Structure 1
């Protein structure tokens, strides 16, 4: 199965064309996601665990397939690399709660590391085990990637953080690791 290039929503705010795909449900896989990322002109790597990841300067978005048969799940999970201090966690949680109330995705939560730094993780999931409409899969995946980028920009504004040089360039991706691993 392939994705019609005209079906890929752009990031420039133009109206999104309606995707045209195969009739009936499809079972998405990593190759389909790679095609989609290629058509979106996003860099990606496959990590040592076999998961597909698109790296940006301050975060990495993973495209993962988990589960078997009719319980399979497609998960788009973003790991935000900007460290926060443990004493900032209360303010961070207030901001994350506000984001989660206002938006559908990604749902964002905190993770406190052993060294006391707090990082954020965003996540959206779709059940795919019985198959999904290709149009729904493409539009959801693109929306989730767009929302992951927007969350990082939003958090910088909310907390008065220093934006990256890349954020000034509208969320361009950072360089992919040369060895293909994170």
Structure 2
């Protein structure tokens, strides 16, 4: 299977009166890591394969992983972003207020906190797609692209909400 580059959504680049690019349909597929690699290549995103075999696209302040978990009808494709900016336990109440606002206003990624053994709090964003018996190629591509864009947007948004602008410098370019 192959991804038609014109089927990758262009957020903000298409005039409102222009129809979406890409062929209709696309058929039902069983996505795999090779398809995700092809999509990341077409999006011009750098990626690595980690020790567990998962794909990860690194940005300056976060890493986005593309993972397949489970088998058969229970298989799930997850896009999980680990935000590297550390917070203290004292910050956790404010963080929860901020990310609750994000989770109410948006569909993805759903963001939560993770407290490490050393007391450091970090944010994690996640979106999942049940693959079941297969998914439409266009749906898979548009969902994955949307989730990547939303992960980037969340990082910018949380920086604004918490007044961390001085820490953020062009954090939307992968591989920096």
User: Which band: TM-score by shorter chain?
Assistant: over 0.9
1:129 to partner: Cα distance: 2.4
Contact 1:25/1:134, CA 8 A, preserved across alignment? yes
Taking the TM superposition and a 5 Å limit, the aligned residue runs for 1:3-18 are 3-11=3-11, 13-15=12-14, 17-18=20-21
Name the counterpart of 1:166: 170
Please say if residues 62 and 84 of structure 2, whose CA atoms lie closer than 8 Å, have aligned partners that are also in contact: yes
Matches of 2:25 and 2:2, distance apart in 1? 9
Instruction: Mark the CA change 1:147 to 1:23 in structure 2 (over 3 Å): closer, same or farther.
Output: closer
Question: TM-score by structure 2 length?
Answer: 0.92
What is the SS of the residue equivalent to 1:165? Answer: coil
Residue pairs, 1:1-182, within 5 angstroms:
1-11=1-11, 13-15=12-14, 17-20=20-23, 23-161=26-164, 162-167=166-171, 171-175=172-176
Could you tell me whether the CA contact under 8 Å between 1:3 and 1:21 is conserved in 2?
no
Residues 65-85 of structure 1: per-residue CA shift (max 9 Å, x gap):
000011110000000000001
Aligned length in residues: 171
CA distance in 2, matches of 1:120, 1:157: 15
Shift in alpha-carbon separation, 1:130–1:18, aligned structure 2, 3 A: farther
**Unaligned residue ranges in structure 1 (runs of 5+):** 176-182
Q: Secondary structure at the match of 2:77?
A: strand
Task: Give the whole-Å Cα distance in 1 for the aligned partners of 2:143 and 2:60.
Answer: 23
Contact 1:166 1:174 in 2 (8 A): no
1-structure distance, mates of 2:163, 2:100: 17
SS of the residue 1:121 aligns to: strand
Please give the TM-score of this superposition, normalised by the length of structure 1. Answer: 0.89
Kept in 2: contact 1:8–1:138 (CA 8 A): yes
What CA RMSD, in Å, does the superposition of the two structures yield over aligned residues?
Answer: 1.5
Distance 1:23 1:141, change over 3 A: closer
